[in-house]
Chains A and B, each alone.
Chain A
Amino acid sequence: MNTRTHIEGTDQTSKRIIQGHRRRCLKKRNNGDFIKQNKIQPVSRIRPTDRDVQFHPKYKEGVVTPDGVRRKKRRENDMNISQDSPPLDSKVVPTFTPNLRASNSTLYTSNVRGAMTSILYNGDQAAFTSPMDSNNSTALNGRRLGTRNKDRGYASVTNDSLNDRVDPSENYEENPYFKTPDAMRRLKRKHFGVPTNPKYMSLIPNKMRDIEEDIDVHEMNDSDNQKDRKVREYSFSPTKTPSKNGRDELNRRRHNNFLKNKINSSNYSVARSHFDREPSKLISTVNYSRLGKYRVVQNPKRYHISNFKMEDQPNYDGVDSKIILWCTCKADHKKYFCQTGRSWTEIVSHDFRYLKWKDAYENILIGQKQCKQISRDIERTFQKHYAFRHTSMVHRLSRVLNAISLYDPKLGYVQGMNFLVGAFLLHCEECITFWLVIELFESYEMREVYEDGLIGMYRHSAICENLIEEYLPEVWDHFKIVDIRVEMFMSDWAISFLCSYIPLSRLDEFFTYFFKYSWRSFHCMVLAILEYLKFEIVKSDDMPSCMNTIKMLKEHRNSFKFDRSSFRKKKPEMHGMKHCMDLPKLRFENKKKKDTLTLSFRKEMEEVEQQISHEKWDEVFDLFRKYLRKVTKEKYKEVYAKVQV
């Protein structure tokens, strides 16, 4: 049984006791070794590959049927099933509506595998919970019983069973069962895989970045797509249950903010779904249209490199295989990119044809070879991001990188490309990613950056020097005093193309600018970052501290130690904090104390940090736009010509 679920169920005092106990336990173990502390998935228990799932009989169990036969069978085996999930009574279940069937049936029957429909709403938690029983591996991959564990907010539905399923809202007014909102919510969760428990809604990461999409592509017309979209608009009303303690209150408030933000932003469409007929309720509907089908992955297995072999790597199948886009951008009706990805391809080529690109990419992949350096770096690419812990993503990354080194053997693979490719892979399908990167190399002068001698890097740092001298004279003077050359930090920035500096969630914005304005946008970004950090840079006395301040905007999730107690005191400041200078100060204060991060606390911390970094980067992007206006095209050409000479 998971300790975490225990804690959440109990009152506060016992919570504290348990947490204290856990902290003491953690202390005993290897200090700082986070994975060990949290019992992250051992190597032997890696999730089975997709093919395993397809053919293994074990994974075919647990299909929900209305009569609940198999469900019962499952219950005997499974200890974790929650007691209070409502019985799925045949009396309660209303008749099937023809509407749903009409729109769905053709679609789902063709889907033999029956990918699961559910949502991953709590990816981060995975890192903090202990690995669950072996049953869980089935959850990852195949069919699985819905509402297996209510405490964990787990809900999943298989598609072929959805066929026989009923829309619970249809007889809403007639059926007494639905009159209590809780029952309604529970039922909805059961049927459609939406986590409606408000307790867990707060755990949804900011940009829903952890949604695992798993799209089985079959031949579908666009009109089919449209129908699909309508059906799959779910609703949840998270603010309903009364909060028990302050923590819940906090979570609720946070989540409400989250919803408000999201509704305004383009990523989520607001709609009134047919489930809810109370007009006063705030209904936010997440637009899952692109995603098609979901799976809940309660405890995603961390990908481990020692299990990864290049030989086992599946061949590239294009759209016919699975496509998983991990971004939260607006969906495109084509399955192989999101709208950001589409805008990039439109800028790059006027005549985009997927099949053409795909064929060319496949041809390149034929001569697949292994590069030791690539396999070394794959595991180190965006490790913190959820998507890159999954085997499918890792395979894609390695395939694209290999393809690049095959396409341009003279250039080969250079460290830093992995970040670039990784960032693109979140938004586009493999072959599109590949051609976009090649386009960057060939017509955006990116190739020179990676070339032997790193000419491009030196050139761009020289351009930056000129621009800094002109636009940020104070910083420039200070660099001279402290004896910092621009190359010292520019080597990292130019070669990884700021991918390791700008947070992943913001990179797409930057790329769009880059495709439009080429290297001018890069230099403006550098200027914006330096301007944002101007006061701190000028304040710092010597070279080391100055270099450290320049690094400050980087994602620093792991580089700072926080102590629980002092963090609590600091909390109100942290929320309103705009100045990034405060973070190192905090670190300094806590330096002597031991690193006592409890699990829930760490998650809380990450949320706060995300908020902070978002605020920061909003400001930086504002500055960036300012500089784009300031450094005009002519100006940039002038400087460029100067450097060439």
Chain B
Amino acid sequence: MEKKKNKKVFLKVVIIGDSGVGKTSLIHRYTSTRFLQDFKPTIGAEFSNKEVVINGKTVVAQIWDTAGQERYQSLGISFYRGADCCGIVFDRSDHSSFENLDTWKNAFLKHGAPKEEGTFPFLVIGNKSDLDDGSLVKERDAQQWCADNGNLEYIETSAKDNTSVEEAFTKLIEKGMEREKVNLVELPDRMSQKNKTVNLQRDVAKDVNRKPQKKKCC
């Protein structure tokens, strides 16, 4: 397969959901393949990225990890905007977080204001399925909710046991790529961008320190 340097695609993935639902550990599991033991509540938003090859294209997924508390929803304006796909996470052992799915979806559509409200790619992720004590949110209920809200897709994960975390994110990214095959912003040619601003000093610094881009594998 052909791999061109400039065929890199940026994709903005936003993960939302109630606080304490496991958004950060999901993302951490995906980007660094480890389960977080020491973790902090996310404040504002945290950023992480991962390069994936999907359908022969290298995709740089910019994953935005948002804070779960209600107060931070007003931050959404700056973080949701321009998102290509959105994952809504809920805690399967916490029913209230499942009930809040509606509010999260609406908040995202309101603040993020994507072009197509009806068909925007969401993925509903039920996390913490390793805590099986019989009182988990049932898959049927979740599927039902997804069907009622515009045929969203649903997936059950566990960041702790690493069950289908990778799957969930690849699904998300694929959806995001499908969504705007035309509109996908390809990485602009670095040289052309540079020429817009003339700053000799920086260019010199870059040329000296520039390293050949290495191939990364997952």
Contact = CB atoms under 8 A, between A and B. Distances in A.
A415 interface: yes
A33 B162 CA distance: 11
13 contacts: A33-B37, A414-B71, A415-B41, A415-B72, A452-B71, A454-B71, A454-B75, A481-B193, A485-B78, A491-B75, A491-B78, A542-B60, A543-B10
Contact of A544 (B19, B47, B193): B47
Task: Determine which residue in A418, A452, A558 has the highest number of CB atoms from chain B within 10 A of its CB, and name it.
Answer: A558
Interface residues of B, number: 41
Nearest to A581: B209
Interface string A513-552: 0000000000000000000000100110111100110010
A416 B67 CA distance: 10
A488 B78 contact: yes
A460 to B, nearest CB: 12
A454 B67 CA distance: 13
A400 interface: no
B115 interface: no
A415 B37 contact: no
B69 interface: yes
A495 B72 CA distance: 10
Given A33-B35, A491-B78, 5 more contacts: A32-B35, A380-B39, A474-B201, A535-B205, A538-B205
Interface string B196-218: 01010110011001000000000
Contacts of A496: 43
A376 interface: yes
A223 interface: no
Interface string B61-95: 01000010101101100110000000000000000
A83 interface: no
Given A415-B19, A481-B193, A544-B62, A488 B47 contact: yes
Contacts of A478: 202
Interface in A426-459: 450, 452-454, 457
B46 interface: yes
A487 interface: yes
Nearest to B12: A543
Contact of A415 (B39, B43, B48, B78): B43
A574 B71 CA distance: 42
A506 interface: no
B202 A538 contact: yes
A418 B41 contact: yes
Contact of B197 (A477, A538, A541, A547): A477
Interface in A471-494: 474, 477-478, 481, 485, 487-488, 490-492
Nearest to A560: B32
A386 to B, nearest CB: 13
A376 B20 contact: yes
A384 interface: yes
B202 A487 contact: no
Contact of B74 (A454, A474, A490, A559): A454
Nearest to A35: B37
| Residue picked from A478, A481, A491, A551, most chain B C-beta under 10 Å | A491
A481 B197 contact: yes
Contacts of B79: 488
Nearest to A491: B44
Contacts of B78: 485, 487-488, 491
A538 B41 CA distance: 30
B38 interface: yes
B3 interface: no
Contacts of B209: 539
A357 interface: no
Instruction: For the complex of A and B, list the 7 residue pairs with the smallest distance between their C-beta atoms, beginning with the closest.
Output: A491-B44, A544-B49, A32-B34, A492-B44, A383-B38, A376-B20, A547-B47
Nearest to A490: B44
Nearest to A496: B43
A231 B80 CA distance: 62
Most buried by A among B44, B47, B193: B44
B37 A34 contact: yes
Contacts of A559: 32
Contacts of A535: 205
A248 interface: no
Contacts of B109: none
B40 interface: yes
Contacts of B69: 373, 414-415
A457 B48 CA distance: 22
Contacts of B67: 415
B43 A541 contact: no
Given A373-B69, A415-B67, A453-B74, A500 B202 contact: no
B45 interface: yes
Contacts of A457: 44, 75
A61 interface: no
B140 interface: no
A539 to B, nearest CB: 6
A500 B43 contact: yes
Interface string B25-55: 0000000111111111111111111000000
Contact of B60 (A34, A383, A544, A595): A544
Given A450-B71, A495-B44, A384 B62 contact: no
A377 interface: yes
B4 interface: no
Contacts of A383: 38-40
Contacts of B193: 481
B149 to A, nearest CB: 26
A539 B75 contact: no
Nearest to A544: B49
